């Protein structure tokens, strides 16, 4: 079995996840879907951490300081970087439709 990379979570990721889960649970009144999203996000991150460089780098419209990768889980993207020390740093959880451009 391949060694898993260490994973570090940024506060922005926790904020995104908490906001999303709270919305699904309290506004949409679907606590089961909120729990399932947390489980899916967690399993996706753990699976991705085994080989984080497998995904194609995210191509931003502007130059970024770091190389970001994204992996889709349900209707969301998890953005992460691979740090010089090999740690997978999970940065954001973004609703996929919020990333659509007007012409898409």
* pLDDT of 61 higher than 90: no
Q: What is the CATH number of domain 7-99?
A: 3.30.2310.20
Smallest Cα–Cα separation from 81: which of 59, 94, 66? 66
Indicate the domain borders of the chain: 7-99
Smallest Cα–Cα separation from 9: which of 83, 76, 75, 63? 83
Q: What is the pTM of this model?
A: 0.86
- Tell me what pLDDT residue 5 has: 54
- Tell me what pLDDT residue 3 has: 47
- Tell me what pLDDT residue 1 has: 34
Question: pLDDT tens-digit profile of 12-35?
Answer: 999 999 999 999 999 999 999 999
Question: pLDDT tens-digit profile of 36-57?
Answer: 999 999 999 999 999 999 988 8
């Amino acid at each position: 079995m391949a060694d898993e990379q260490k994973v570090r979570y940024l506060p922005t990721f926790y904020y995104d996840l908490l906001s999303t889960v709270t919305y699904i649970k309290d506004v949409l009144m679907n606590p089961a879907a909120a729990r399932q999203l947390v489980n899916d996000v967690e399993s996706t991150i753990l699976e991705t951490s085994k080989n984080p460089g497998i995904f194609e780098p995210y191509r931003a419209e502007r130059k970024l300081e770091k190389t970001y990768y994204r992996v889709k889980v349900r209707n969301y993207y998890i953005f992460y970087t691979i740090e010089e020390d090999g740690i997978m740093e999970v940065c954001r959880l973004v609703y996929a439709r919020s990333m659509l451009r007007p012409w898409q």
